[in-house]
């Protein structure tokens, strides 16, 4: 087997998926892969089709197969594998520019194939040889499940004078004061049995029609209808309220809207909405086009089931999620109407929007008519010593586009941060109030459809009470608002954890809930089938989520708790080889791991007393060399957790490879470039 690069090698393939690819149909003026590369040889090639493209290192095997050993670059996010659809694709030998400039990707790609290839992110599976343990459920995104969020199938839903609306025996006038105190509502005056309709084609499924209505004069029936025939009377008062009707019309074209039964009656109307579901959700104003939005659904993995997590916004496969044990100290984490939550100058509107888990359980946290702090809070008991805590809440803009989150000791000392729910940025940096909290930080992360998961972290130094409090803001700098009983922000899913960063959301009801640690390993013949006890190379692609302890193992080979591991030691990345009584060898690697950034690391090792020089590399950088030493005992375990059996902190493993020989420094550089 050799690395071969040859001129004018090109064929086509009709294979689908992400490889391997069956090539054939030679192209005039070009040679085949069989002629130009040859059996069992590795090469650089590019594949291009309607689904995208990939620059690949792969191996050709006769009679006509090209493997995908590594993706150098691709049209997919983060240079991920591309899944090709049906149709002809062009495949040609291509020594890419970055590879040429670096002398082969910064080194020489290994001629040997890995004996273990755990490609969690691209394969979207967990190798059955892995034993996975987590005694509780846990949340994650599966990269495919969505739920319908905002929808309004009506046109010009708050412009009732537009031609999209047909008024019969009635007149429409604009400039009426709406529920928020501005003048965007309309009046509708009956000059007979008056109707205000739009005509739409429906399916034989549930629909919900809603209007904000306020009676002005008259006592006659005010009806809503989804088919122009079946009339549902509403009890209308002199105050603004939102009214709805739900029905399943036939699959046909129907007139739907509002009817006033008595001539001379007058009502005010504001924002009509039609949704293809069995209950109304938050209102959305349309103009010339209908609205149907979808939200990525936060899923729940059963106990004992690993989580292959995805970025909910980009769909990027993040890999196998490993998290330490955490407890949500807040109860009724998404039921803010429970008495455990204390409201200040605020009111809650339940089932106001579709939450990140796809259910209609989000609340509108609205200011009441008072002026000043508008907030909701919960107090829990904490340890008195200096411990980091992180409080988290999901926010979505409504009438207000700013929110804030605060942690405190219940005596006015704490920290507060403001978030911009339009731009997804921290509006005003986290600021301390008093001296009870130090080491302050905050983040805001989009989870799709306008929802953001926002958190604040601080080390609480003295108090035994921890207060999590949040609300809306009109300007992103103050938590004082002039309330009108209507404007607010959407809220869902609060948590407070002991730790310096937020982990995946842990829902609670009447009691605090602990999510157990994720533990994944290979032992026994599942380990020995691919492991070489005399030498080897470990390659890891990881994304660090956060770290609360001094040491964090990304992957370890050894006999628990000793062996060799990539270890983040308080922010300093090391290749650490622990040999029990025989000795310890640590080398510090560069660069260190940054939160949220993909890092590639590789290290070779030899079970030897002769001082053989081996090395470790991060992201194609310089090789850190060290001398070998004998292993204390035969290695028996490969684990994505701390050697002592406790998962530390949180990270993703995108890919893990093991080569049954100590690769050269050039190999290590090429692998991690």
Separation of alpha carbons 480 and 103, rounded Å: 61
Which of 271, 289, 307 corresponds to the end of one domain? 289
Residue scoring higher pLDDT (31 or 106) = 31
Residue scoring higher pLDDT (105 or 224) = 224
In a domain, 197, yes or no: yes
Q: Is the dihedral of CA 158, 164, 166, 170 positive or negative?
A: positive
In a domain, 172, yes or no: yes
Quick one: pLDDT at residue 585? Answer: 64
Do 332 and 281 lie in one domain? The reply is no
For residue 101, pLDDT over 50 is answered with: no
Torsion of the alpha carbons at 204, 208, 214 and 220, rounded to the nearest 10: 30
**CATH code for the domain of 637:** 2.60.120.200
Residue scoring higher pLDDT (186 or 107) = 186
CA 550 → CA 37, 321, 593, distances in Å?
A: 49, 20, 14
Residue scoring higher pLDDT (227 or 97) = 227
Q: Enumerate residues 6+ apart whose C-beta is below 8 A from 222.
A: 213, 215, 233, 234, 236, 258, 259, 260, 261, 265, 267
Do 167 and 88 lie in one domain? The reply is no
Q: Enumerate residues 6+ apart whose C-beta is below 8 A from 106.
A: 620, 669, 670, 672, 673
In a domain, 659, yes or no: yes
Quick one: pLDDT at residue 97? Answer: 54
In a domain, 497, yes or no: yes
**CATH code for the domain of 280:** 2.60.120.260
Structure tokens at 598: 């993909």
Query: Per mean pLDDT, which range of 39-53, 373-387, 581-595 is the poorest?
Result: 581-595
Residue scoring higher pLDDT (99 or 303) = 303
Do 606 and 647 lie in one domain? The reply is yes
Do 225 and 359 lie in one domain? The reply is no
Query: Per mean pLDDT, which range of 224-228, 253-257, 321-325, 592-596 is the poorest?
Result: 592-596
Do 510 and 558 lie in one domain? The reply is no
Which of 497, 515, 533 corresponds to the end of one domain? 515
pLDDT digit string (tens) for 229-250?
999 999 999 999 999 999 999 9
Q: Is the dihedral of CA 461, 464, 468, 474 positive or negative?
A: negative
> For residue 195, what are the β-bridge partners?
168, 259
Residues above pLDDT 90, as percent of the chain? 62
In a domain, 4, yes or no: no
Do 485 and 530 lie in one domain? The reply is no
Quick one: pLDDT at residue 556? Answer: 84
Q: Enumerate residues 6+ apart whose C-beta is below 8 A from 385.
A: none
In a domain, 108, yes or no: no
Assess contact for 59 and 66: CB atoms under 8 A: yes
In a domain, 250, yes or no: yes
Do 277 and 332 lie in one domain? The reply is no
pLDDT digit string (tens) for 167-177?
999 999 999 99
Could you tell me the residue range of the domain that residue 570 belongs to? 518-672
Quick one: pLDDT at residue 550? Answer: 61
Do 461 and 380 lie in one domain? The reply is yes
Structural domain tally of the chain? Answer: 4
CA 538 → CA 187, 235, 565, distances in Å?
A: 72, 71, 9
Quick one: pLDDT at residue 369? Answer: 84
Do 407 and 549 lie in one domain? The reply is no
Do 490 and 558 lie in one domain? The reply is no
In a domain, 130, yes or no: no
Which of 515, 549, 574 corresponds to the end of one domain? 515
pTM of the model: 0.81
Quick one: pLDDT at residue 26? Answer: 76
The pLDDT confidence band at residue 378, using thresholds 50, 70 and 90, is very high
The pLDDT confidence band at residue 7, using thresholds 50, 70 and 90, is confident
Do 556 and 511 lie in one domain? The reply is no
The pLDDT confidence band at residue 107, using thresholds 50, 70 and 90, is low
Quick one: pLDDT at residue 106? Answer: 44
Query: Per mean pLDDT, which range of 84-93, 412-421, 632-641 is the poorest?
Result: 632-641
pLDDT digit string (tens) for 489-542?
999 999 999 999 999 999 999 999 999 999 999 999 999 999 988 888 999 999
What is the separation of C-alpha 572 from the centre of its chain, rounded to a whole number of angstroms? 27
Do 15 and 75 lie in one domain? The reply is yes
Residue scoring higher pLDDT (29 or 297) = 297
């Amino acid at each position: 087997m050799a690395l071969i690069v040859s001129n004018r090698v090109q064929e086509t393939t009709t294979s689908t998926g992400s490889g391997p690819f069956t090539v054939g149909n030679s192209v005039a003026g070009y040679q085949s892969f069989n002629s130009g590369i040859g059996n069992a040889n590795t090469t650089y090639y590019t594949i291009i089709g309607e689904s995208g493209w990939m620059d690949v290192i792969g191996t050709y095997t006769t009679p006509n197969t090209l493997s995908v050993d590594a993706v150098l670059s691709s049209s997919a996010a983060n240079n991920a594998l591309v899944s090709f659809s049906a149709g002809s694709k062009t495949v040609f030998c291509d020594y890419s520019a970055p590879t040429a400039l670096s002398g082969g990707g910064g080194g020489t790609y290994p001629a040997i194939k890995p004996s273990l290839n755990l490609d969690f992110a691209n394969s979207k599976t967990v190798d059955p040889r892995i034993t996975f343990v987590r005694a509780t459920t846990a949340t994650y995104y599966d990269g495919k499940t969505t739920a319908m969020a905002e929808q309004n199938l009506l046109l010009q839903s708050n412009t009732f004078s537009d031609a999209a609306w047909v008024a019969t025996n009635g007149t429409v006038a604009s400039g009426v004061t709406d529920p928020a105190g501005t003048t965007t509502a309309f009046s509708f005056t009956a000059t007979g049995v008056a109707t205000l309709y739009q005509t739409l084609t429906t399916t034989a499924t549930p629909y919900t029609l809603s209007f904000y209505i306020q009676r002005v004069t008259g006592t006659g029936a005010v009806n809503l209808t989804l088919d122009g025939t079946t009339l549902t009377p509403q009890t209308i008062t002199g105050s603004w309220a939102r009214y709805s009707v739900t029905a399943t019309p036939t699959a046909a074209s129907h007139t739907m809207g509002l009817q006033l039964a008595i001539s001379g009656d007058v009502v005010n109307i504001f924002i009509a909405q039609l949704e293809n579901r069995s209950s109304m959700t938050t209102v959305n104003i349309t103009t010339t086009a209908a609205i149907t939005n979808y939200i990525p659904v936060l899923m729940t993995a059963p106990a004992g089931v690993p989580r292959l997590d995805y970025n909910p916004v980009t769909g990027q496969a993040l890999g196998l999620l490993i998290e330490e044990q955490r407890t949500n100290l807040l109860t009724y984490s998404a039921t803010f109407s429970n008495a455990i939550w204390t409201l200040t100058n605020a009111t809650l509107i339940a089932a106001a929007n579709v939450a990140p888990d796809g259910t209609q359980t989000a609340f509108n946290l609205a200011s009441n008519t008072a002026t000043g702090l508008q907030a909701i809070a919960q107090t829990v008991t904490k340890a008195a010593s200096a411990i980091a805590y992180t409080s988290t809440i999901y926010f979505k803009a409504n009438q207000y586009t700013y929110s804030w989150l605060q942690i405190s000791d219940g005596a006015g000392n704490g920290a507060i941060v403001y978030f911009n729910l339009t731009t997804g940025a921290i509006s005003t940096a986290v600021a301390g109030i008093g001296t009870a909290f130090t080491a302050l930080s905050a983040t805001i992360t989009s989870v799709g459809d306008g929802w953001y998961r926002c958190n604040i972290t601080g080390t609480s130094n003295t108090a035994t009470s921890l207060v999590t409090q949040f609300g809306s803001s009109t300007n992103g700098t103050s938590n004082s608002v002039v309330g009108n009983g209507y404007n607010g922000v959407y809220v869902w899913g609060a948590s407070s954890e002991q730790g310096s960063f937020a982990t995946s959301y842990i829902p609670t009801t009447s009691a605090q809930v602990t999510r157990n640690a994720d533990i994944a390993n290979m032992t026994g013949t599942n380990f020995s089938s691919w492991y070489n006890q005399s030498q080897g190379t470990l390659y890891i692609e990881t994304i660090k989520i956060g770290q609360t302890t001094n040491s964090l193992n990304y992957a370890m080979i050894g006999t628990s708790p000793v062996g060799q591991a990539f270890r983040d030691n308080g922010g300093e990345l090391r290749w650490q080889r622990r040999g029990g009584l025989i000795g310890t060898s640590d080398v510090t690697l560069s660069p260190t791991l940054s939160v949220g950034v993909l890092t590639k690391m590789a290290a070779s090792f030899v079970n030897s007393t002769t001082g053989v020089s081996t090395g470790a590399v991060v992201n194609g950088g310089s090789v850190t060399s060290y001398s070998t030493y004998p292993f204390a005992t035969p290695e028996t375990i490969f684990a994505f957790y701390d050697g002592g059996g406790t998962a530390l902190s949180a990270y993703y493993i995108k890919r893990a490879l093991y080569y049954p020989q100590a690769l050269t420094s050039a190999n290590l550089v090429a692998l991690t470039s």
